[in-house]
Amino acid sequence: MLQKDDSFFFSIVVNAFACRWDQRSSVVTPEEDVFYLVALLRSALDDGEEMHSLEYLTSQNREILRFCDEAGIKVKQYLPHYTTQEEWTEHFGNKWDRFYQRKMEFDPRQILATGQRIFRPNFISSYGASW
């Protein structure tokens, strides 16, 4: 997956403890008590090299996630890009119900953070809208 001649690659691996995270927040951590935080720090460059292109790095990221899924390695992305509510539900896991409850309490029209596509806005767009 990751090429050994990739000179624009740096990784950080840290063991973390779930008990140190505030469970009331919407941050998503694995369900295990101890987990590893793995950060792949890379830069896309516009230097003509395919291995440095954003498309190449994005493809590698997808390949890494696919490998983890097929190997049964549970993964939580820090900045995920999901397109369906089902994917977000899976991402939040057992925190989904609480996350959903807070969303309905504090943003019942679902107009905040629509770009993440977690919820669809609960209003009809028109010239006379009073939201």
Q: Which residue has the higher pLDDT, 128 or 100?
A: 100
State how far the Cα of 52 lies from the Cα of 59, in Å rounded to an integer. 12
Three-state secondary structure call for residue 72: coil
For residue 43, what pLDDT is reported? 83
- On the question of pLDDT at 3 being above 70, the answer is no
Q: Which CATH number fits domain 80-123: 3.40.50.2000, 3.40.50.720, 3.30.70.20, 3.30.43.10?
A: 3.30.43.10
Sign of the four-CA dihedral 2, 39, 78, 19: positive
pLDDT tens sequence across 41-85 = 888 888 888 888 889 988 998 999 999 999 999 888 887 888 888
Q: Across residues 32-39, what is the average pLDDT?
A: 88
For residue 21, what pLDDT is reported? 84
For residue 2, what pLDDT is reported? 61
State how far the Cα of 29 lies from the Cα of 50, in Å rounded to an integer. 33
For residue 72, what pLDDT is reported? 93
For residue 125, what pLDDT is reported? 55
Domain limits of the chain? Answer: 1-79, 80-123
